[in-house]
Chains A and B, each alone.
Chain A
Amino acid sequence: MKILMKGNEAIGEAAIRAGCRFFFGYPITPQSELPAYLARKFPEVGGTFLQAESEIAAINMVYGAAGAGARVMTSSSSPGISLKQEGISYIAGAELPCVIVNIARGGPGLGDIQPAQSDYFQATKGGGHGDYKLIVLAPASVQEIVDLVMDAFDLADLYRNPVMIIGDGALGQMMEPVEFKERKKIKLPPKDWTTTGMMGRKQNLINTLDLDPEGLERHNLKLKKKYDEIKKKEQRCEVIDCDDAEVIVVAYGTAARVVQTAQKRLRKEGVKVGIIRPITLWPFPEKTIKQYRDKVDSFLTVEMSTGQMVEDVELAVGGKAPVYFYGRTGGMIPTPGEITREVKKLASGGCK
């Protein structure tokens, strides 16, 4: 059965259904409906909602709760996610599974409260200090929010790694029909590393400190091995009409929805345009882009930023085709008309 839900609330419901019972957060627009939903619903299922004194405290509560073995989540929006970076670095270093939601808004600084994709670098390239990676999932509809939030908890437990769900104000606020499907249980590793009191076993320690550089290098190489495995196994994207495409547009999230509207119009006009929509921003779906890079005339990356993901597209294309960029930023959303115009500049018959 499908029900109509707001994106932010759908994150909350999906988290509950995924077994998340702990949420620590701090108010910020435009993600407020998510903590409000959990504050309302958690008492019914025995969950704990805590409004922390700051984003910094919230992410460190997540560290503690994840270390104690719980499925735990926090959410915020861009400036608040910046504040959480210290904690995220520690969580990644200590290999604690958790889900972090960024309903992104325009930046830099306080920016505005409109939808933006200008946190791509922060999410995929580190954000905090040290050699680490988050798994970054970018839904483009409320249904996909539900599916990816549920996946996120499993991926976090599977790899003992923080997972970020990155949306934006538009996805958080929009209402769409969603279905909570029965999911196959996947086999997850036992949580035998948690600090729950020794109860007869040896000490468990959640830690990011190693004063011995050889030891810390070994730890970093172990993390690297895990990231390489994730890179190999977890790349996800949606491919639309790429087989005969002359131009492939690469876009994710809200920008990809607008691109889809433009692409349908262009196809009706006979313009051979396809779409690659990354669902995992990290690991970036470079394997799919590599499959098409010799077959198309050009790539166009469309983002709600001044151009961040375009660098990953360029790396994946590896100079085999030109990569163009079109973006709106500061909370502005590109229109289908703008994208149509940009694609026509590149497609055969159009004026380049």
Chain B
Amino acid sequence: MKTVFERPKSLQDVKTHYCPGCTHGIVHRLVAEIMDELQIREETIGVCPVGCSVLAYNYFNCDMQQAAHGRAPAVATGIKRVLPDKVVFTYQGDGDLASIGTAEIIHAAARGENITVVFINNAIYGMTGGQMAPTTLVGQKTQTSPYGRDPKSAGYPIKMSEMLATLNGAGYIARVSVHDIKNINRAKRCIKKAFETQINKQGFSMVEVLSTCPTNWGMHPLDALKWLEENMIPCYPLGEYKTPGEVK
């Protein structure tokens, strides 16, 4: 019988802990497919954040380190400096990367640290039960912005890709979404470019992935995908914000 679809070697054969409809699973699969395609699984070290994807080490079939909240880029820096010819990536959520870990991500990018960052932006803290994130939209209701995020007291969403793209050390910065097939395919191409940027030693690379959190958004998974498209993309425009000349 012809095999038409199978689990990438870079994913382990285990049950998922992610909620039904959560897009983490899609992004995990994309990263794993890319590791398979680039044949880097055996020479890759991944770094998990604190948040829903803290357990990513159960899923990725490569060496992994689990970092303190927000510190994944610093941990990845330590690994990469010791093993400059290996592939090092972090997988971080918006609370981890855009709130508690802003110093670490900005300086890793500024140093041109030759690592790849997969940044999941779902505009909410998932693991702790749905609190306001730095990327929560204006007016968005969360456990800690029950009347909707009011910029007068809670400020505005942080646009990490735009910010990091201003830094000379950043080689590749893109924002993608996983709300439909077309965008999932595009997301894969961009994440692959990010890994290639690292393999070609062209500096820091990050792909921000707009994602859903049906559980904490309080939505049906399909409604969540629609909500992402209609509300998040206007605030977080998709596209490549920085590309190294050589990467095609």
Chain A contact residues, CB within 8 Å of chain B:
22, 24, 48, 50, 52-54, 56-58, 60-70, 72, 86-87, 90, 195-200, 203-209
Partner of A206, one of B66, B71, B76, B82: B66
Task: Quote the shortest CB–CB distance from B164 to chain A (angstroms).
Answer: 14
- Contact B71–A197 (Cβ < 8 Å): no
DSSP class of A's interface residues: helix, strand, loop or mixed? mixed
- Contact A48–B67 (Cβ < 8 Å): no
Please give me the 10 A-B residue pairs with the lowest Cβ-Cβ distance, nearest first: A64-B78, A65-B78, A60-B74, A64-B75, A195-B63, A61-B78, A53-B107, A197-B43, A60-B71, A68-B82
- Contact B61–A203 (Cβ < 8 Å): yes
- Contact B42–A64 (Cβ < 8 Å): no
C-alpha gap A22/B103 in the complex (Å): 21
C-alpha gap A24/B79 in the complex (Å): 12
Task: Quote the shortest CB–CB distance from B57 to chain A (angstroms).
Answer: 5
- Contact B63–A57 (Cβ < 8 Å): no
Chain B: number of interface residues, binned into ranges: 20 to 34
Closest to B17 in A: A211
- Which residues of A sit under 8 angstroms from B61, Cβ to Cβ? 203
Partner of A57, one of B47, B55, B82, B103: B103
Given contacts A56-B71, A86-B68, A203-B61, contact A61 B43 (CB under 8 A): no
- Contact A65–B82 (Cβ < 8 Å): yes
- Contact A64–B47 (Cβ < 8 Å): yes
- Which residues of B sit under 8 angstroms from A205, Cβ to Cβ? 57, 63-66
Question: With an 8 A cutoff between CB atoms, is B44 at the interface?
Answer: yes
Q: Mark B203-227, 1 if CB is under 8 A from A, else 0.
A: 0000000000000000000000000
Question: With an 8 A cutoff between CB atoms, is B192 at the interface?
Answer: no
C-alpha gap A292/B106 in the complex (Å): 56
- Which residues of B sit under 8 angstroms from A197, Cβ to Cβ? 42-45, 62-63, 83, 86-87
- Which residues of A sit under 8 angstroms from B87, Cβ to Cβ? 197
- Contact B41–A198 (Cβ < 8 Å): yes
Closest to A87 in B: B68
- Which residues of B sit under 8 angstroms from A22, Cβ to Cβ? 78, 81-82
- Contact A90–B104 (Cβ < 8 Å): no
- Contact B71–A87 (Cβ < 8 Å): yes
- Contact B63–A198 (Cβ < 8 Å): yes
Given contacts A61-B78, A64-B77, A196-B83, contact A52 B107 (CB under 8 A): yes
Closest to B66 in A: A207
Q: 17 additional contacts, CB 8 Å, given A22-B81, A52-B107, A61-B78?
A: A22-B82, A57-B71, A57-B103, A57-B104, A61-B77, A63-B74, A63-B75, A64-B76, A65-B82, A195-B63, A196-B83, A197-B44, A197-B45, A197-B86, A198-B42, A206-B65, A207-B64
Question: With an 8 A cutoff between CB atoms, is B54 at the interface?
Answer: yes
C-alpha gap A204/B45 in the complex (Å): 9
- Contact B68–A90 (Cβ < 8 Å): yes
- Contact B77–A53 (Cβ < 8 Å): no
Given contacts A60-B104, A63-B67, A90-B68, contact A200 B78 (CB under 8 A): no
Task: Quote the shortest CB–CB distance from A302 to chain B (angstroms).
Answer: 37
Closest to B72 in A: A60
Task: Quote the shortest CB–CB distance from A253 to chain B (angstroms).
Answer: 30
- Which residues of A sit under 8 angstroms from B106, Cβ to Cβ? 53
- Which residues of B sit under 8 angstroms from A87, Cβ to Cβ? 68, 71
- Contact A199–B79 (Cβ < 8 Å): no
- Contact A60–B42 (Cβ < 8 Å): no
Task: Quote the shortest CB–CB distance from B61 to chain A (angstroms).
Answer: 6
Closest to A50 in B: B81
- Which residues of B sit under 8 angstroms from A60, Cβ to Cβ? 67-68, 71, 74-75, 78, 104
Closest to B80 in A: A64
Please, could you name 28 A-B residue pairs with CB atoms under 8 Å apart, sorted by A? A22-B78, A22-B81, A24-B78, A52-B74, A53-B106, A54-B103, A57-B74, A60-B67, A60-B71, A60-B104, A61-B78, A63-B67, A63-B75, A64-B77, A67-B75, A67-B79, A87-B68, A195-B79, A196-B45, A197-B45, A197-B62, A199-B43, A200-B42, A203-B61, A203-B62, A206-B64, A206-B65, A207-B57
